[in-house]
Amino acid sequence: MDTTRFERVKRVLDRRQTDLTVCLEEVHKHHNLSAIARTADATGCHHVHAVWPENQKWLTNNTSGGSKNWLETHLHRNIDEAVAMMRAQNPDVQILATHLSDDAVDFREIDYTKPTAVIVGQERDGISPRALAHADKNIIIPMQGMVQSLNVSVAAALILFEAQRQREEAGLYNRDMLDAKVKHRILFEGCHPIIAEQCREKELPYPELDENGEIVADETFWNILKHTQPLEATNECK
């Protein structure tokens, strides 16, 4: 086991912000999806929500640069479902919509140390009226040129990095917010991807890891992993 990688992954997971999230309302261009996923990972978000048509693939590792592996992505059929889940995850969450309106405020005036969800809209049409109805505030990025809006991934990056700046100053990245089971799953899959895939195929729980990231398992586990056929393959033989 590469202990340097293990320690790096562990440090990242120890700083994850479960109360900072972004919601993509039908953002459909893959370069934007990829960029926002990377930004969410870079700023320590743990959850990413997306309103996305059914039966369409949202992100692949090729388009997200692998950042999707380190995030919990939640796909929703409509914005109502997305907002309901975000509020269920944190009832105190402030929902912000990136939208130019008469009552919109400069995105830098927001207190991002509070539980926060940022909704960004579809590339052509922006945020839907239904999403705006859920928002507690509209936020804007001030412009000094002729254009009135930025690319959606650029806008998301500016907002999330402002949230990161405020949270770093407040010491919020020193909190260990992730559930231990979730952290173990991500650690195991990130540091032992081949064995993790074999465990999933054979419906085996992930064994424990020691302080160096090495697998702690008895001989029975290794024998099952090595010799037992995947459940699906066994059923096909019947």
Residue holding tokens 């340097």? 4
Per DSSP, helices labelled H in 43-173 are 61-64, 79-89, 129-134, 152-169
Residue 48's DSSP bridge partners are 22, 73
Phi, psi angles (nearest 5°) of residue 127: -80, 140
Structure token digits, residue 106:
């400069």
Of 113, 95, 98, the closest CA to residue 154 belongs to 98
Annotated ligand binding at 225? The verdict is no
Q: Which residues contact residue 162 at a Cβ distance below 8 angstroms, ignoring those fewer than 6 apart? A: 107, 108, 110, 112
Structure token digits, residue 192:
């032992």
Structure token digits, residue 15:
């700083």
Annotated ligand binding at 140? The verdict is no
Annotated ligand binding at 204? The verdict is no
Distance CA(94)–CA(134), nearest Å, equals 10
Give the annotated binding-site residues. Answer: 98, 141, 150
Give the annotated binding-site residues for S-adenosyl-L-methionine. Answer: 98, 141, 150
